[in-house]
Amino acid sequence: MPELPEVKTIQDQLNGFMPFSIERVRRSRVAGSIVHTPLTGLTGRTITHIERTGKLLDFRLDDSRHLLSHLGMSGAWLIARHPDPPIAEKHTHLQFQGKSPAGAGHLAYVDPRRFGHMYLYSAQQAAAKLQQLGPDLLSPQFTLQYFTDALLSYPQRMIKVTLLDQSLFAGTGNYIANEICAHGGVLPHRRVQTLCRAEISRLYRGVQRVLRPTIGKGGTAFGGGYRDAHGERGTGVQHLVVFYQSICQLCRQTPVVKTVLAQRGTYHCPSCQK
């Protein structure tokens, strides 16, 4: 599933083609399983820019409406410069034909598994939806004090389960939570209440140690699913230390242990994490 680095990569790439004036809208026969609101009045409108909170892309329209897009497990937005033909993808469910100063002719949402979600909202509706999310991991509001208070708000929870809570930490996902625990030197299945302040500080610093290199490499792809807006797969996997690794990349010698926690594959180093 695309997590913050992958969604930010797509956001940054698409913004390079904004503003985008919509001349025609095409939908697949099964787009209704993804698009949960009517897409009325988009023809003739312009996408001015794209913002993001966590894993939720926020397409801003020139009439103050918002097209909110969650990529689910396999969703992607692809951009093409050529005006014709449309992007030829088997699982294209929504396509905008139009123009941008960068010469893009088509903007398409592709989703093989159809677990993505999309909503066309007024500014007020969008604000209410976004308020369900905690601060973005890259936002100024995501301070050590906020991180500490949010983490300790559920003392009985396992650390990794809390890190996955989007109402607290917008943008985390399975690989990010595993990697934060690794860089923090704590076991993902420990209870939050067992953490000392030094461990919480290490976890907080671990957030940036996970995000920055991965964003710089265009995100992380694990065999299938994620593609950026140009159809490429990121190379951020080379920066992972425990997730999908056989040997811990911190100590370079201990075999990584895989378990299942909250129905998610969970990885840890029994030497580096306590």
pLDDT, tens digit (0-9, with 9 covering 90-100), for 38-77: 999 999 999 999 999 999 999 999 999 999 999 999 999 9
**Residue 76 has what pLDDT?**
93
Q: Which of 130, 153, 176 represents a domain boundary (last residue)? A: 130
pLDDT of 114 over the 80 cut:
yes
Q: In angstroms, rounded to a whole number, what is the distance separating the alpha carbons of residues 184 and 201?
A: 8
Catalytic: 129? no
pLDDT of residue 131: 97
Quote the pLDDT of residue 222: 72
pLDDT, one tens digit per residue, over 208-257 is 999 998 887 888 877 666 888 988 887 777 889 999 999 999 999 999 99
- Across the range 18-43, mean pLDDT stands at 96
Q: Mean pLDDT across the stretch 195-199? A: 98
The least confident of 15-19, 73-77, 189-193 is 73-77
Residue 116 shares a structural domain with residue 23: yes
Structural domain boundaries enclosing 109? 4-130
Residue 172 pLDDT? 97
Kindly tell me if the per-residue pLDDT of 16 is higher than 80. Answer: yes
Q: Which of 130, 164, 193 lies at the terminal end of a domain, its last residue?
A: 130
Give the pLDDT score at 182.
98
Say if 26 falls within a structural domain: yes
Other beta carbons within 10 angstroms of residue 172's beta carbon come to 25
**Are 46 and 19 contacting, i.e. CB atoms less than 8 angstroms apart?**
yes
**Total domain count for the chain?**
2
Is residue 232 part of the annotated active site? The answer reads no
pLDDT at 70: 98
Instruction: Give the pLDDT of residue 160.
Output: 98
Which position among 3, 8, 45, 179 bears the catalytic label? 3
pLDDT value, residue 223: 63
- Given this model, what pLDDT does residue 84 score? 53
Kindly provide the b/e burial profile for residues 93-130, where b requires at least 16 CB atoms within 10 angstroms of the residue's own CB.
Answer: bbbbbbbbeeebbbbbbbbeebebbbbbbeeeebeebb
Residue 101 pLDDT grade (very low, low, confident, very high; cuts 50, 70, 90): very high
Q: 89 and 42: one domain?
A: yes
How high is the pLDDT of residue 237? 77
In the prediction, which pLDDT does 86 show? 54
Residue 65 appears among annotated catalytic residues: no
Catalytic residue, chosen from 55, 160, 202, 233, is 55
Average pLDDT over the chain reads 93
CATH code where residue 240 lies: 1.10.8.50
Whether residue 137 is contained in a domain is answered as: no
- Structure tokens belonging to residue 22: 């919509």
**Percentage of the chain exceeding pLDDT 90:** 83
Helix/strand/coil (H/E/C) assignment for every residue in the chain: CCCHHHHHHHHHHHHCCCCEEEEEEEECCCHHHCECCCCCCCCCCEEEEEEEECCEEEEEECCCCEEEEECCCCCEEEEECCCCCCCCCCCEEEEEEEECCCCCCEEEEECCCCCCEEEEECHHHHHHHHCCCCCECCCCCCCHHHHHHHHHCCCCCEHHHHHCCCCCCECCCHHHHHHHHHHHCCCCCCEHHHCCHHHHHHHHHHHHHHHHHHHHCCCECECECCCCCCCCCCEHHHHCCCCCCCECCCCCCCECEEEEECCEEEEECCCCCC
Which is catalytic among the residues 2, 5, 135, 188?
2
Indicate the residue among 77, 104, 130 that finishes a domain: 130
CATH at 109: 3.20.190.10
In the predicted structure, residue 178 carries a pLDDT above the cut 90: yes
Classify each residue of 138-155 as buried b or exposed e, where b means 16 or more C-beta atoms within 10 Å of its C-beta.
Answer: beeebeeebbbebbeebe
